[in-house]
């Protein structure tokens, strides 16, 4: 049998903490060093809070108090003690800059756990956080520039894209959105939101992303340069009835669905679904120059078709293939030249 060195109460050895029974240890041993008060800075605009050199996102009073008490109590225990958990009890404002709270601390000492209740005073100072200061002057740290591979697109197209990328993100991180002749600029103060927007543009619109950083000043307290990170997202633009070059053959766009195209091959009439990201692999192109000439079928003989230019009288002989097999004398066809590739197709109404 063992005895408490303070009150003399008999106890088993494993029930003693450094010679004390649990009641005496809790009463006579100050396991937590005296903490005069806790200090934090709170942004009066957004509610974010500054502690030990870092700004933290807005949170409720109990959440902030739990973080403060856990951090400070954990650093101020006697040697060999470890804070397991802190539970916030009652709390109240004494005035606008003073808050008091009761916390229940679960502490492990020499592999034995005991609960200690302490009251803490929190001193609050108010100061605008860097984000709110930047917002007040229209300053941003991130810029997403949405650009297009061509400008002859519907004016509703950029707005549809904007509506899609802004759906489900934190709007409070957006400082400004500017619609420009060349595209859209989104100014933000949060990198996570900027990267989320870029991810949506890449996945849903096959945008190619280029990233750059422009330093504006060096922050010695953080040991790094501060500036603006810019993401330029270029989106390939295709429209229905566009003539394209796909895998070195001519096609015409029959349907556009964000990052997918339905292309009809002009040399066969067959349809194929094509991912727009092929544009960045140089397998899907906009022709630089497109020319069209009209020809009349003069003769069909075996596998050959004799054509005559309706204006110049030029004659050509081509091989019968696929959807040209039903041509007969007097029918009209169109010769399409796109860059250095050409093909002949039956003339359609409206051509």
Question: 144-165, pLDDT tens digit by residue?
Answer: 999 999 888 887 888 889 888 8
Report the pLDDT value the prediction gives residue 267, as an integer from 0 to 100: 82
d(CA 184, CA 145): 6
Report the pLDDT value the prediction gives residue 190, as an integer from 0 to 100: 86
pTM: 0.61
Domains by residue range for the chain, with CATH: 31-128 (no CATH), 138-235 (3.10.20), 239-286 (2.30.30.140), 287-351 (2.40.50.140)
Q: Is 112 exposed, middle or buried (0-12, 13-18, 19+ CB in 10 A)?
A: middle
Gyration radius of the chain's alpha carbons: 37
d(CA 189, CA 175): 7
Report the pLDDT value the prediction gives residue 56, as an integer from 0 to 100: 87
Report the pLDDT value the prediction gives residue 230, as an integer from 0 to 100: 95
Name the token pair of 42: 């709170």
Name the token pair of 72: 């400070």
pLDDT, mean of each 10-residue run, the chain (351 residues): 77 75 79 82 87 86 89 81 86 89 85 82 88 76 92 84 84 83 89 92 94 87 84 94 90 90 88 93 91 89 85 84 79 88 75 53
């Amino acid at each position: 049998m063992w005895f408490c060195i303070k009150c003399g109460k008999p106890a088993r050895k494993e029930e003693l903490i450094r010679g004390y029974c649990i009641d005496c240890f809790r009463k006579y041993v100050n396991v937590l060093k005296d903490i005069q008060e806790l200090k934090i800075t709170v942004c009066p605009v957004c509610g974010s809070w500054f502690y030990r050199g870092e700004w933290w996102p807005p949170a409720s009073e109990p959440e902030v108090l739990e973080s403060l008490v856990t951090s400070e109590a954990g650093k101020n225990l006697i040697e060999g003690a470890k804070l397991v958990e802190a539970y916030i009890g009652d709390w109240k404002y004494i005035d606008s800059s003073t808050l008091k709270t009761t916390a229940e601390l679960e502490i492990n000492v020499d592999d034995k756990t005991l609960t200690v209740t302490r009251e803490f005073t929190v001193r609050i100072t108010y100061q605008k956080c860097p984000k709110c200061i930047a917002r007040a002057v229209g300053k941003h740290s991130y810029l997403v520039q949405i650009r297009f591979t061509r400008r002859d697109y519907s004016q509703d197209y950029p707005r549809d894209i904007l509506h899609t990328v802004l759906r489900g993100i934190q709007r409070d991180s957006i400082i400004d959105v500017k619609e420009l002749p060349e595209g859209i600029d989104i100014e933000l103060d949060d990198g996570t939101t900027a990267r989320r927007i870029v991810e949506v543009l890449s996945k849903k619109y096959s945008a190619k992303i280029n990233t750059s950083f422009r330093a504006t000043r060096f922050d010695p307290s953080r040991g790094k340069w501060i500036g603006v990170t810019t993401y330029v997202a270029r989106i390939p633009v295709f429209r229905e009835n566009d003539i394209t070059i796909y895998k070195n053959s001519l096609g015409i766009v029959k349907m556009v669905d964000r990052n997918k195209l339905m292309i009809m091959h002009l040399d066969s009439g067959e349809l194929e679904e094509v991912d727009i990201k092929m544009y960045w692999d140089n397998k899907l192109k906009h022709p630089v120059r497109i020319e069209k000439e009209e020809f009349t079928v003069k003769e069909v003989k075996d596998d050959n078709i004799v054509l005559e230019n309706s204006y110049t009288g030029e004659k050509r002989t081509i091989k019968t293939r696929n959807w040209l097999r039903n041509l007969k004398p007097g029918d009209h066809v169109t010769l399409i030249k796109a860059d250095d590739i050409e093909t002949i197709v039956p003339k359609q109404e409206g051509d």
